[in-house]
Structure 1
Amino acid sequence: MGSSANWSTTSSSPPDPRRLRWWPWALLVAVLLAGVRAAGLWGGKAWAPLLPLGFVGMTLLPWWWLDAGQRAEMGWQRAQGRWVYLKAAALGLGLSLAVFLVFLAAFGLGPDHAYVTVAEAFRRQVPAGLGAPVLVAMFTLPARLFSPVGEEVFFRGLLPWTLSARFGQRWATALECAMFGTVHLLHHGLIFHAATGELTLRPLSGALWVFCMMGVAWMFSRVRQRSGSLFPAMLCHAAFNLGMAACLFLEVWPRLPK
């Protein structure tokens, strides 16, 4: 897919000293963004706009912290060739189908299937009586834009770029994949009951979801590292979300309780 940018601290040039100071702040920002995500997902319709706003914040962070050269090193630059984008899109679609089938084999289309949880959460956020085309558009447009751009800029760009100065590229990738997987417990695995304010955990399906999301994050990271660009990773992520939407509306949605 092309040459990858080298973030490793073992290269001949020492890392930018600012990166050595920034990595604790990057971790703190990751925790704060997780809190924003939780509020957007669990706070009801009034708090729902916080979810896309959190993704917008992820996208804008490098323009606050980094200069143009650092953003290019992070991956904000074009990838060479068209095949890298086609392969990334195909990979994303395949990953979304694979996750759907893994959960289907393990739990069926019951409440422990992650895509069922996503569908139920989405249904609680939208007005009743909307037609299928409107529902599909409401789900897929943000899923193809806000999440792929924001999460890839942060989790495959800014976060590993700062962490690699302290831990090296391999551990930086492992950390960002672990954080990406863990934060997705907010989408499935950790269940917030608004009426009582209690949290419950689905340990088996939640653990499988984290494991799957860590694997998906690792594949996104490979796309970014091999292409030297965040843009194929964004497309891979958008294709994953589009594939999830297809599974959700073709297989899950018709089976939800009325």
Structure 2
Amino acid sequence: MVTTELRFTWNRVLQFNWVFGLILLLAVCVPRFWMVLQANETGDYSSIGIIMTVSALIPFIFLSKEGRREIGIKKPKSKAWILYSFLLGIAISTLLFAVGYLLYTNSMSNWYVYIGKSYHISADLTAQDRLIYFVIFAVTGMCFSPIGEELFFRGIVHASLRASLGENKATLIDSLSFALTHLAHFGFVYLFGRWQFLLVPSLLWVVGMFMTSLVFIQCKKMTGSLLGAIASHAGFNVSMIYFIFYQL
């Protein structure tokens, strides 16, 4: 069956359905998982920028103009919800910070502490230097992963799953995939020259990422556009970076 979501070239070999969504998840998330683990070990995170760029480009490579509108690349129906989405992203990030700090304080079992380790923040930064670094990381964090991940997860993957499985199953698979992919960022941790798996903290982190994905999906629905999910993701990231720089 020929669909209108895919470009004509791809329509001859692919269908816009759950199989297509699964292929995308395996093609992007598996190498991304490995790249993040490697980056955590080596300290070289340049490959992460590449995978985020690829994730952002995939909808434009595969989808027609109609398909891009179908996944949410269009003007929002509610501009006020762009702001609300940003604030909701801050709220869910703050909740994750509070849970992590109450349970694990400043230990490496705290997901934000471990993620912050990758920033290589010097303990003796002046207040001005800390602000400069915060702004750099905040701007980067509000652009790269929100755009790349939302165009991919809440965009083309979610829509292709929904096309044949329905909204509820698409939401479940999309959010679970997003959460499990983030185990590479925390869960499998590289400490003191060896790999460890933090079972309970990682389970809490996966639950937190699953809930975060549900928030992003809701923000997309309320705005009628992926801009809602991107704004919420940007709010989440800038809040997380603030906590890493100023509260841990």
Match of 1:122 in 2: 119
> Quick one: which of 182, 186, 189 aligns to 2:187?
189
**How big is each residue's C-alpha offset from its partner over 1:78-97, in whole Å with a ceiling of 9 and x where there is no partner?**
11232111111111111111
**2:177 is equivalent to residue 179 of structure 1:** yes
Q: Which runs of 4+ in 1 moved over 4 A?
A: none
**Which residue identity is paired with 1:215?**
M
Contact 1:76/1:230 (<8 A) preserved: yes
Q: 1: CA distance between counterparts of 2:135 and 2:40?
A: 19
The whole-number CA distance in structure 2 between the counterparts of 1:155 and 1:42 is 26
* C-alpha displacement of 1:27: 2.5
TM-score, normalising length: structure 2: 0.85
Alignment of 1:103-252 (within 5 A): 103-123=100-120, 131-192=129-190, 195=193, 198-252=194-248
For the pair 1:64 / 2:89, whether they are aligned, the reply is: no
Structure 2: which 5+ residue stretches go unaligned? 1-13
In structure 2, the residue matched to 1:6 is none
SS at match of 1:122: coil
Answer yes or no: is 1:33 the counterpart of 2:32.
yes
1:140-191 deviation per Cα after TM superposition (whole angstroms, max 9, x unaligned)? 1221100110011111001111122332221111111111111111111111
- Counterpart contact for 1:52–1:142, Cα < 8 Å: no
Q: TM-score, normalised by structure 1?
A: 0.82
Where do residues 11-90 of structure 1 align in structure 2 (5 Å cutoff)?
18-20=15-17, 21-29=19-27, 30-45=29-44, 48-90=45-87
Cα distance between partner residues in 1 of 2:192 and 2:165: 39
Q: Output the CA distance in 2 between the equivalents of 1:82 and 1:190.
A: 39
- The residue matched to 2:107 in structure 1 has which SS? coil
Query: 8 Å contact 1:74–1:157 — kept in the other structure?
Result: yes
| Aligned-pair CA distance for 1:194 | 8.2
Relative to structure 1, the CA distance from residue 42 to residue 142 in structure 2 (aligned partners, 3 Å threshold; closer, same or farther) is farther
Identity within the alignment, %: 23
- Asked if the contact 1:37–1:54 (Cα under 8 Å) also holds between the matched residues in 2, the reply is no
SS where residue 195 of structure 2 aligns?
strand
Q: Pick closer, same or farther for the CA change 1:157–1:49 going to 2, 3 Å.
A: same
CA displacement, residues 26-73 of structure 1 (integer Å, 9 cap, x when unaligned) = 23223233333333443322xx11111111111000111111110110
Q: Which amino acid aligns with 1:50?
A: S
Distance 1:108 1:213, change over 3 A: same
State the one-letter code of the partner of 2:31. L
**How many residues are paired up?**
230
SS state at 1:199 partner: strand
Residues 71/41 of structure 1: CA separation in 2 closer, same or farther (3 Å cut): farther
* Aligned equivalent of 1:13: none
Q: Which runs of 5+ in 1 are unaligned?
A: 1-16, 253-258
Shift of 1:193: 5.0
Secondary structure, in 3 states, of the residue corresponding to 2:15? helix
